[in-house]
Chain A
């Protein structure tokens, strides 16, 4: 009975109800998007950092990974000491450098990582073989597209360029043996991986026994923060960054997006609440006589309150359900916009659907819909029956 009455009240002004549902849907979509932005960025970055299971990054003092050209000296000794620590399961040394692939008068500049293939965590091999021998090279798809090379081809690669004499230094003939998907580089950036020793030799004396970064995997059960502190205490010329520290730093840099998400999410919640409150209040005002008659023939206050709250909940639930779909579509569009950030890895998402967070936020909107029905229903249930009936009859 209550459901039928609530449904009839909403259907009486179909255009108005549709407009309100659409308004709630847009508010819900915006709220969902903002929750996806606020929580997704953090989770996406965590997944991104832990994609290969390394919890600690060791960089030259005061720098972030590949933030500058600084390198860590005596890399061999540092590597041996890190691997000897009982809490450390694996250490991946990485040297980053610009390399030039030469073809006639043209050269393609790519980012190269010198890695140890046994423990590397920078890429996933999609096709072919890994860089198990010194003169081997794995590249990503953009590299193959821009050079026009194929697996098995030999490429002429140089590690240095003197612009004054237009001459290349540290040249090597390397064989393309594999196609890799690199986790930490921009989606459209050509990237190659070569054995660490090969890249160090190509870089000459300035790169000998040096790396840009160590990635450290901590054993199960061991605390990465303890390992991080030990590294910084043992090696004064490096900075050790744990996943939590890195996330904190990124959150500081991208804090703007979280705050924007919070503000817009709160606004959409308030707009949804006000919309439903206004609509139900006006609807109740229009039906004051009808409600007074119901009360006069013995319908209880609780029944009236229940019916009006049901109207508010119906508007909110239907709007929220529509908003869920709308929000997912707009989140995809907004994510595509932010994916164009220069240098952003393809694996990184700004908008990530986190079921728990999404349901919580949409649940909050439904609760706000229930609250939106409380005031008008309380007002309707508290009507003085006789006075209202007389006033309505005269009117």
Chain B
């Protein structure tokens, strides 16, 4: 669980004296870094002095803001409307009374073999530490996003079914509108195969053009979505993405539906006697 820290603005002007004058030559104040969100909301800048304490209203330390950091594109941060303050380890330990303790160590190893050896070495020692692979930790903490992904997939399937039915209806109707053209072509002696082929090509072209237009609209949609949510959550995270795979799937599905619907309707039309198509 995160430790709550409390910041109080002592002086908003950088480079001026500490909040409380001290009789002896004071040690230079420690430095901290804050994130952009806190800097923007509290109107803080590099060089400002603030007081930080472990408890609300408690005596704290005057520190200097040495840096303003930008958050990484971490999905787990998106919905958490919280601030990030980074202190030197010994400073935080002293401030919170944590003593010579840390919550965890991050260990960089040389290659996958070294990672396994390090895991075994740490987990086999007599003292009660437990080492985990970063990848395993990531799997454990990414459950939220797996749930969101499954939800998006399910919603995606429903919308695909709805749009597929819509597409199928439109294409069937479009072919049905050609009843008289087909009758005329058949009466002129054009073969059934030629009529079916021409209708299928027409349906495929309509589906392809619609897909291209849909891809352009979808791409514009991702720009709007990213612009909106990046502003709302103040994160560089990409929320919506049009990938070649998605485009291929959408165009492929559209073409398959177009060709299928065009073929089915065309076969039905060419099997109907031309005069019947004319309504005679």
Q: Which residues of A contact B (CB under 8 A)?
A: 16, 19-20, 22-23, 26-27, 29-30, 33, 60-63, 67-70, 162-166, 236-237, 249, 252-256, 260, 264, 267-268, 271, 274-275, 278-279, 282, 285-286, 330, 333-334, 337-338, 340-342, 395
Q: Which residues of B contact A (CB under 8 A)?
A: 1-4, 6, 55-57, 79-81, 127-130, 143-144, 147, 150-151, 154-155, 158-159, 161-163, 165-166, 168-170, 172-173, 176-177, 180, 229, 232
Question: Which residue on A lies nearest to B2, using beta carbons?
Answer: A68
Q: Is the CB of B169 within 8 A of A268?
A: no
Q: Is the CB of B147 within 8 A of A340?
A: yes
| Bound Cα distance from A108 to B260, whole angstroms | 58
- Given known pairs A60-B56, A282-B176, A338-B147, the reply for A268 and B162 (CB within 8 Å) is yes
List, in ascending order, chain A residues with CB within 8 A of B159's CB.
Answer: 30, 264, 267
List, in ascending order, chain A residues with CB within 8 A of B128's CB.
Answer: 162-166
Q: Is the CB of B158 within 8 A of A26?
A: yes
List, in ascending order, chain A residues with CB within 8 A of B177's CB.
Answer: 282, 285
Question: Which residue on A lies nearest to B142, using beta carbons?
Answer: A342
- A-B pair count, CB < 8 Å, reads 114
Q: Is the CB of B55 within 8 A of A237?
A: yes
Q: Is the CB of A20 within 8 A of B1?
A: no
| Bound Cα distance from A23 to B57, whole angstroms | 61
- Given known pairs A68-B1, A163-B129, A282-B176, the reply for A30 and B162 (CB within 8 Å) is yes
| Bound Cα distance from A16 to B171, whole angstroms | 11
List, in ascending order, chain A residues with CB within 8 A of B129's CB.
Answer: 163
List, in ascending order, chain B residues with CB within 8 A of A166's CB.
Answer: 127-128
| Bound Cα distance from A29 to B4, whole angstroms | 44
- Given known pairs A26-B161, A30-B159, the reply for A20 and B169 (CB within 8 Å) is yes
9 tightest CB-CB pairs across the interface, nearest first? A61-B56, A163-B128, A23-B165, A26-B162, A253-B79, A166-B128, A282-B173, A237-B56, A342-B143
- Given known pairs A16-B169, A23-B166, A164-B127, the reply for A62 and B158 (CB within 8 Å) is no
Q: Is the CB of B144 within 8 A of A333?
A: no
Q: Is the CB of A19 within 8 A of B172?
A: yes
Closest chain B CB from A269 CB (angstroms): 11
Closest chain B CB from A21 CB (angstroms): 10
| Bound Cα distance from A30 to B276, whole angstroms | 40
Instruction: Choose from A22, A236, A278, A341 the contact partner of B173 (Cβ within 8 Å).
Output: A278
List, in ascending order, chain B residues with CB within 8 A of A255's CB.
Answer: 232
Known: A255-B232, A278-B170, A334-B154. 10 other contacts (CB 8 A): A16-B172, A19-B168, A26-B162, A61-B4, A164-B127, A249-B81, A271-B163, A275-B165, A282-B173, A342-B147
Q: Is the CB of B144 within 8 A of A342?
A: yes
Closest chain B CB from A378 CB (angstroms): 20
Between A and B, 14 residue pairs with Cβ closer than 8 Å are A16-B169, A30-B158, A33-B158, A61-B4, A68-B2, A70-B55, A163-B127, A163-B128, A164-B127, A166-B128, A252-B81, A268-B162, A271-B162, A337-B154
Closest chain B CB from A161 CB (angstroms): 8
Q: Is the CB of B180 within 8 A of A395?
A: yes
Interface centre among B144, B151, B154, B159 (most CB of A within 10 A): B151
Closest chain B CB from A278 CB (angstroms): 6
Question: Which residue on A lies nearest to B163, using beta carbons?
Answer: A271
| Bound Cα distance from A113 to B150, whole angstroms | 33
